Structure 1
Amino acid sequence: MPSGDNSPCRIASFSGFMGDRYDALKTQAETGTGILFGDYLAEMNLAWRALELRKRPDLGYESGFLHHLKLALPAIKANRPKILTNAGALNPKGLAEETAKILSEAGIDLKVAYVEGDNLIHRLDELKAAGETFYHLEDDDRHLKGWEHEGGITSANAYVGARGVYEALKAGADVVISGRCTDASPVIAAAAWYHGWEWTNYDALAGALLAGHCIECGAYVTGGNSSGFTKYLSHYYNFSMGIAEINSDGTFVITKEKSKDGKWNGVVNDITVRSQILYEIQGNVYLNPDVQGIIDDIVVTDEGNDRVRVSGVRGRAPPPTTKAAICGVAGYQAEALVFATGLNVEEKFAALKLQISQFMADKVDQFTTWDMTQYGVAKPDADEEALATAMFRIFAQAKTLEAFGPAKTLRALVNPEGLGHFPGYQSQMDMRTTEPTPYIEYWPGRVSQKHLPLKVTFVGSSKTIDVPAVDNTEPLIPQKDYDSAQALEAGAYGETTRGPLGWIVHARSGDKGGNANVGFFVRNNDEYAWLKSLLSKAEIKRLMGKEYVGNRIERVELPGMLAVHFVLHDYLGKGVSSTARMDSLAKGVAEYLRARYVDLPNQYLDRGKI
């Protein structure tokens, strides 16, 4: 497939985390796009697959891919695209063999390969003997040895790069299934194979990294999770999937899947692309096992007609280490829900908290996490009971089942006083969440890339390819961190109106281990100076309100995207799989902060609200 004519490498997404739209592989295959890419992994589902493997050693992969594959068989047979996915999770061999079987039964003679080497679960002792301490991503003084749980380590995977997928393509593979490569790695591999890049072509590799980041989350780049969604409410369904057209120099265009009958909605514009670029980044340096992408000078240009050009990404040699996602069973967790309606909701929940506190007494000390939080408020004078109702959540984690009492449940806490409850009391009818279940805790460690050779195997063949470990590395480039250069002066931007920040400012947030990241950006160039001066570290702490509890905060400006980006450290505690927050992926952080009130310049507000 490599063209040799300098044409763009066109890669179409068909999945962002466990499948997105169920028929996207089918519809993308029908378009005739030569390379299809599906991302199926996140920190959460590796932990889930680890628990699954305890009961079903034959599984451990994302089986949804097989359903998507079966739907797409006629189009795959007709157009024979390359299909790249990390759906192999903890068992890429198993998924590859099932994939090859399905293709063969359908009379499709595609070569299926799988990449191994990311799974470290059986190498931990060997790697520790070689000097690996798997120290924490953000703290050189914290090592895996002090973290390990009685429940044992259930999974340990290095975030590997693109070279295994690249070698598979180079050797003629049509379908390549990997485990925990980074989300964008298959895109980097495809572009490097298509354009014939060397692994030292860092600027181009960094461009492909950002292109992969844009389309790795499926419908996110076509309007999903976008703060501008209200403009598309009439057709906010049937999202098309993103497509990246990567040039030989690493610059790229993001566009979308289109259908002849106009069935697929969604939009690609500078808002959706900037939103996705800002999603789950560390700061001004986007790290990857194959390249360090520097995005200080990134420029996003809307060309219209669902086409957005991205340029200005620079690259440096990859870092000597990569992330190692290590998961272990930390204990048991359960939650219970109570609802209050109408007047005096806060007082009603205060009464319940008092009752629970009296009932629990010193039993709370047996829990590692104990949280009682009100979610939402009752709307005054609501004309529906649902809108006049708020929720109270009791969430608990403990190392042992015994902490939950003789009945081993939180059920008693839903109503500790029987009928002595507040007026209008309601609880959940389905009590299954009150029964303690094992939960996974996540250790975001680091491992040396020199210890991570990969292996490519073709299903039905003795042919294997040994892929050497990455050795051309440079030290990590420090993330920039600085405050506003100029304080916001009253009246500097004319008359103002007090209102939600999100009336004129877009934002996107997500999780990075135990941290939350959030990027804010404005619509027009002349609004950027105001945004930079407004969003100081002191102001973001004020906007966080009671959510700010002394967390370390990093801040950087990205002028090519008219953006100010923050990392809110430890916002999620120990990460997605064990956080006590309902907003476990930190996707609501941006919307919470956009709803906070600031003084908005009327000259920008007059342009219309987002």
Structure 2
Amino acid sequence: MTRDAVCRIAAFSGYTGDKFGALKEQAEGSGAPILFGDYLAEMNIAWQALAIKADPTAGYEAIFLQHLRTAARTIAANKQKVLTNAGALNPRGLAEAVAALLKEEGVQLKVAYVLGDDVLARLPELEAAGETFHHLESDARHLRDWKLRGRILSANAYVGARGVRAALEAGADVVITGRVTDASPVIAAAAWWHGWRWDQYDALAGALLAGHCIECGAYVTGGNSSGFLAYKDEYYDLVMGIAEIEADGSFVITKQPPRAGKWNGVVDDVTVRSQILYEIQGNVYLNPDVQALLDDMEVRVVGRDRVRVDGVRGLAPPETTKIAVCAMAGYQAEAVVYACGLDVEEKFDTLKLQITHSLGGRDAINARFTTFDMTQYGVAAKDAETEAAATAMLRIFAQAESLDAFGPARSLKTMINPDGLGHFPGFHFPLTFGNMTPVPYIEYWPGRVRQSHLPLTVGFVGSPETIKVPAVGAGATLPVRPSDDYDAGEALIPAQWGSTTRGPIGLIVHARSGDKGGNANVGFFVRHDDEYPWLRALLTKAELARLMGKEFVGNRIERVELPGLKAVHFVIHDYLGKGVSSTWRLDSLAKGVAEYLRSKHVDLPDRFLVRGKI
């Protein structure tokens, strides 16, 4: 393979192969020699833990095979590399299935897989070696004390780029991993391409951010963007992002050009800044390969659909990395009921009363279920033009350790309408009852494990060849550097900004939110430099709590400013309870938090409003 000065990597999956044709699309049109697909998230690791319990040969994202079949011959002809974590809990199993598929397609590619992240069988050994797997949120909470310690189904460390790089150096064409961090395959590709040493921390940190930008596929090309109104009339057929990583770790984010003049997404400073802010801890972004410092980074448009990111600095990797331990927690089910027209809240109140009474009162409910939540979603419009606009929804969500909690029918169906036809006027619910039947659910323990305990092995399908990749030694790491946490340095002085109009902050402020374990993160940013001092002064911790309204229940809030992004970033602790896989929230990934907060009203300077709303 001829090595250009720039390592060009095209994404083809943001999670579990979210756009079916993306691999073929990027193989054919990106011009990138390396194709990267991120398939994992907390929730599908949990799903695969359940799948592999039922079938030991399962445990990987089988949809990848369908994606690969559409593109295998193109990939071979173009001599492209394919890197993916779709192996989930069974990377060797997926690699063998990939090799079988390639044989059927008449394609010869060298298929490698990386092992070592799965430490389920090693838990006793590692605990004997002093690992407590303390919780990410508290050094005082240890895995051995977890009430679900005896029900663990999987335990996977978030490992880094070294195994993938070793596979590439050995000539692999397809590299299948398990639970590497989302950006690690991109770091591996850039390090292999440019021949970086593992102590070139600034370069590695740049590659980490480049990987973070494209790991969510179309998020960096307009997906999930608070600026979507600018292109809402053609908001479809978005291609995924491409990273061009230079030898010093600086990079450009871009995409394929529009096909036949048609819009296919956009890369601009809004989409890139949004993605950088997505699911970060603060001004320090941790990864097993490097700790990236975001304080001095710069994001600037350098051409149509081309955004350059410079100034990311790096420190030695942290001595610990995250470990996701999944355990069988019990069973959960949910149901929805609709009310229409007048007195919607009162209608739902009567239903809540009926359900609570039929289950023996709140104390009996608490004894029977670990979670039992009844929350109204949406507000019925007044004098609406359609019945749909006049309708709101009550969601009933229940979790219990035992199926018996759901009654003899083992369903929520009878519970949501305990008085039969003695219901409020206009009561109705969907005629599909699937979600009302309890299904197993996973609770996960986000802990830490020392990297020195995590050697990796690279294997190759159809070959006895193996590569032993040493663990990251303690001498090559530093303690985890925590993100900064501080409130606004200057108080907001309303008169300083002239006349104001009360309105949603989202008229002039972008935002992006996501999940970090049981926490939610949200980053706000503005369009223009002169708006940033106002944003910094406005968005104090107290103001964020006010904007949260009743969603704020005393949560610990962390705050940091990122001048290079014109952003103020927050972490809202415990917003999702115990995490995505077991949260009671409908917005289980906290993606709606940013849009909820953008809808809240503040005093907006008129000098900014005249520039037009977002």
TM-score per shorter chain, which class? over 0.9
Q: Which residue is equivalent to 1:25?
A: 23
Q: Which residue is equivalent to 1:499?
A: 503
Q: Which residue is equivalent to 1:571?
A: 575
Q: 1:437 aligns with which of 426, 436, 439?
A: 439
Deviation string 1:261-296 (CA, Å, 9 cap, x unpaired) is: 345610000000000000000000000001000001
Deviation string 1:41-91 (CA, Å, 9 cap, x unpaired) is: 000101111111122221211011100000012311321201100001011
How far apart, CA to CA, are the structure 1 residues paired with 2:130 and 2:448?
12
* Structure 2 counterparts to residues 54-69 of structure 1, below 5 A: 54-69=53-68
2:563 maps to 1:559: yes
Does the 8 Å contact 2:69/2:105 carry over to 1? no
Q: Which residue is equivalent to 1:119?
A: 118
- CA pair 150-185 structure 1, distance change in 2 beyond 3 A: closer
Deviation string 1:386-430 (CA, Å, 9 cap, x unpaired) is: 110000011111111122223222222221111111111112221
How far apart, CA to CA, are the structure 2 residues paired with 1:195 and 1:82?
15
Q: Which residue is equivalent to 1:203?
A: 202
Q: Which residue is equivalent to 1:186?
A: 185
Q: 1:446 aligns with which of 441, 445, 448?
A: 448
2:37 maps to 1:38: yes
2:548 maps to 1:548: no
Structure 1 stretch 359-368 or stretch 19-28: which is displaced more?
A: 359-368
- CA pair 506-55 structure 1, distance change in 2 beyond 3 A: same
Q: Which residue is equivalent to 1:257?
A: 256
2:233 maps to 1:231: no
How far apart, CA to CA, are the structure 2 residues paired with 1:586 and 1:593?
12
How far apart, CA to CA, are the structure 1 residues paired with 2:2 and 2:567?
36
Does the 8 Å contact 1:2/1:195 carry over to 2? no
Secondary structure of 2:86's aligned partner: coil
* Residue identity in the other structure for 2:118: N
Does the 8 Å contact 2:319/2:479 carry over to 1? yes
Q: Which residue is equivalent to 2:373?
A: 371
How far apart, CA to CA, are the structure 2 residues paired with 1:148 and 1:66?
38
* Structure 2 counterparts to residues 140-289 of structure 1, below 5 A: 140-149=139-148, 152-258=151-257, 260-262=259-261, 265-289=264-288
Q: Which residue is equivalent to 1:105?
A: 104
How far apart, CA to CA, are the structure 2 residues paired with 1:524 and 1:112?
48
Does the 8 Å contact 2:258/2:264 carry over to 1? no
Q: What stretches of structure 1 of length at least 5 have no aligned partner?
A: none
Structure 1 stretch 141-150 or stretch 445-454: which is displaced more?
A: 141-150
Does the 8 Å contact 2:339/2:392 carry over to 1? yes
* Residue identity in the other structure for 2:213: C
Q: What stretches of structure 2 of length at least 5 have no aligned partner?
A: none
Q: 1:533 aligns with which of 515, 537, 545?
A: 537
How far apart, CA to CA, are the structure 1 residues paired with 2:531 and 2:258?
37
Does the 8 Å contact 1:2/1:193 carry over to 2? no
* Structure 2 counterparts to residues 397-412 of structure 1, below 5 A: 397-412=399-414
Structure 1 stretch 577-586 or stretch 15-24: which is displaced more?
A: 15-24
Q: Which residue is equivalent to 2:50?
A: 51
How far apart, CA to CA, are the structure 2 residues paired with 1:379 and 1:247?
53
2:305 maps to 1:306: yes
* Residue identity in the other structure for 2:340: T
* Residue identity in the other structure for 2:513: S
Structure 1 stretch 326-335 or stretch 102-111: which is displaced more?
A: 102-111
CA RMSD of aligned residues (A): 1.2
Secondary structure of 1:416's aligned partner: coil
Per the normalisation by structure 1, the TM-score is 0.98
* Residue identity in the other structure for 1:41: L
* Residue identity in the other structure for 2:544: I
Does the 8 Å contact 1:206/1:314 carry over to 2? yes
- CA pair 301-292 structure 1, distance change in 2 beyond 3 A: same
Give the deviation of 1:212 after TM superposition: 0.1
Secondary structure of 1:176's aligned partner: strand
Deviation string 1:195-242 (CA, Å, 9 cap, x unpaired) is: 000000000000000000000000000000000001111110000110
* Residue identity in the other structure for 1:242: G
How far apart, CA to CA, are the structure 2 residues paired with 1:11 and 1:345?
51
Does the 8 Å contact 1:269/1:304 carry over to 2? no
Secondary structure of 1:478's aligned partner: coil
Secondary structure of 2:168's aligned partner: helix
Does the 8 Å contact 1:336/1:413 carry over to 2? no
How far apart, CA to CA, are the structure 2 residues paired with 1:363 and 1:409?
18
Secondary structure of 2:120's aligned partner: coil
How far apart, CA to CA, are the structure 1 residues paired with 2:123 and 2:169?
31
How far apart, CA to CA, are the structure 2 residues paired with 1:492 and 1:359?
58
Structure 1 stretch 363-372 or stretch 556-565: which is displaced more?
A: 363-372
2:488 maps to 1:484: yes
- CA pair 390-151 structure 1, distance change in 2 beyond 3 A: farther
Secondary structure of 2:351's aligned partner: helix
2:595 maps to 1:597: no
Does the 8 Å contact 1:214/1:277 carry over to 2? yes
Deviation string 1:457-503 (CA, Å, 9 cap, x unpaired) is: 11111100000001110011121000001111222201001000100
Q: 1:584 aligns with which of 583, 588, 592?
A: 588
Structure 1 stretch 254-263 or stretch 222-231: which is displaced more?
A: 254-263
Deviation string 1:520-547 (CA, Å, 9 cap, x unpaired) is: 0000000000000000001000000000
Structure 1 stretch 74-83 or stretch 236-245: which is displaced more?
A: 74-83
How far apart, CA to CA, are the structure 1 residues paired with 2:103 and 2:259?
30
Secondary structure of 2:107's aligned partner: coil
How far apart, CA to CA, are the structure 2 residues paired with 1:301 and 1:257?
19
Deviation string 1:541-573 (CA, Å, 9 cap, x unpaired) is: 000000000000000000000000000000000
* Residue identity in the other structure for 1:234: D
How far apart, CA to CA, are the structure 2 residues paired with 1:313 and 1:92?
32
How far apart, CA to CA, are the structure 1 residues paired with 2:164 and 2:147?
32
